[in-house]
Amino acid sequence: MAATTINSADLESFQSVLRYSDRVLALCGAGLSAASGLPTFRGAGGIWRSHAAVQLATPEAFRENPGLVWHFYNYRRHMALGAKPNAAHYALVELARRKKGFLTLTQNVDGLSPRAGHDARKIKYLHGSLFDLKCSAFFCDYKETNNYVDPLVPALEIPKEVPQPTPSGTAGSSEAATASLEKALGITSNDMDISKSEVPLRDVSADELPHCPKCGNGLLRPGIVWFGEQLPSDTLKEVDKFVAESPKIDIMLVIGTSAAVYPAAGYVAIARDKGARVAVINVDRNDIPGGQYGMCRGDWFFQGDASTIIPELFKGEIGEIGPIMEKQIGKAEADHQ
């Protein structure tokens, strides 16, 4: 990963503009969650087991082999639940709280932003969420949000790798043999990495998969936008409403994404048309909206990990990130008790 770089003059310039900005639009991609350690499976080279991840993210794949597709998405849900929001998530949450005219558009489906406490009125999920479900039956409109059950059904439980005791003849001492036995019996066991094709993965029948509680017939599917599907029209309408309700946008934040895919990419141009200055936060200086000609005079580029850059950029508005994280984590823990 590229070293984090914050030019002091750019930092001062950005903070002076942010201080007097009321309308802020943020567009976030995978780089926002990079420090949380999640696998992304993005692009043509993304392989899960022996399958190209993009080939599993289609309605056709679900119709052909719903068990395999659910294994893939159950794995991603499980990994996301094991990850934690990072400092960039919490900094965005706090800035959104302090700026009345603030909206985040996220392309991420990992559920880390809501778990960091992001105000649901100030974030729109362009690609849905791993933790939303909907019925796959054509005539059923059942939808469910923020379902964090893991696994959804017993058949999707990720197998455990239970350590085996060391035979006494090979143990270095009786103490070592005892420790090996205690480890095997107790107790600790790790998830098997089912993303590797050599790890056995049993076939799961349609009868064992989650079914719709409304119609009783359709299989539930992940509530995310698959390849070949349209982005949710109600979400796009809400974004359009935010853009239209004021003649001005002060700052556009582009965080951890090249913004190369439409309609997300179009929001950068829309913000500029409304007078916004654009701040790009990315580890790759070449990965900017519109390529090498995408930056305009007065824009900023901050190179590095979003979890380091974002709290520093927002410090003048939100203060130190440590106490903010402690407060939000404590609140989340209290809410789940």
pLDDT at 223 exceeding the cut of 60: yes
| Secondary structure E strands in the chain | 23-28, 47-48, 51-52, 101-106, 123-125, 128-135, 143-144, 160-161, 190-191, 220-224, 251-255, 277-282, 300-303
pLDDT at 166: 52
Q: How confident is the model at residue 264 (pLDDT cuts 50, 70, 90)?
A: confident
Q: What is the mean pLDDT of the chain?
A: 87
pLDDT at 219: 98
For the segment 198-223, the average pLDDT, to the nearest whole number, is: 95
Query: In the chain, what percentage of residues exceed pLDDT 70?
Result: 84
- Between 117 and 38, the more confident residue is 117
253, β-bridge pairs: 26, 279
Which range is least confidently modeled, 46-50, 92-96, 262-266, 275-279? 262-266
pLDDT at 47: 84
Q: Where are the alpha helices (DSSP H) in 83-173?
A: 87-98, 112-115
For the segment 205-226, the average pLDDT, to the nearest whole number, is: 96
Cα–Cα nearest to 314, from 21, 65, 56, 50: 21
Q: How confident is the model at residue 182 (pLDDT cuts 50, 70, 90)?
A: very low
Q: How confident is the model at residue 334 (pLDDT cuts 50, 70, 90)?
A: confident
Query: Can you tell me the distance from the alpha carbon of 114 to that of 118, in angstroms, rounded to the nearest whole number?
Result: 5
123, β-bridge pairs: 104
Query: Can you tell me the distance from the alpha carbon of 77 to that of 129, in angstroms, rounded to the nearest whole number?
Result: 10
Predicted confidence (pLDDT) per residue in 119-170, tens digit: 999 999 999 999 999 999 999 999 999 999 999 999 999 998 866 555 544 5
Which range is least confidently modeled, 55-59, 63-67, 164-168, 326-330? 164-168
Query: Can you tell me the distance from the alpha carbon of 6 to that of 281, in angstroms, rounded to the nearest whole number?
Result: 10
pLDDT at 184 exceeding the cut of 60: no
Predicted confidence (pLDDT) per residue in 23-35, tens digit: 999 999 999 999 9
pLDDT at 331 exceeding the cut of 90: no
pLDDT at 1: 45
For the segment 292-303, the average pLDDT, to the nearest whole number, is: 74
Q: Is 102 helix (H, G, I), strand (E, B) or coil?
A: strand
pLDDT at 178 exceeding the cut of 50: no
For the segment 193-204, the average pLDDT, to the nearest whole number, is: 92
Query: Do the Cβ atoms of 106 and 28 come closer than 8 Å?
Result: yes
For the segment 102-123, the average pLDDT, to the nearest whole number, is: 96
Contacts of 53 (CB under 8 A, 6+ apart): 41, 42, 46, 47, 72
Query: Can you tell me the distance from the alpha carbon of 123 to that of 102, in angstroms, rounded to the nearest whole number?
Result: 9
Query: Which residues participate in the annotated binding site for Zn(2+)?
Result: 135, 140, 212, 215
Query: Can you tell me the distance from the alpha carbon of 297 to that of 90, in angstroms, rounded to the nearest whole number?
Result: 30
Query: Do the Cβ atoms of 136 and 213 come closer than 8 Å?
Result: no
Contacts of 211 (CB under 8 A, 6+ apart): 217, 218, 219, 220
pLDDT at 180 exceeding the cut of 70: no
Q: Which residues are catalytic?
A: 127
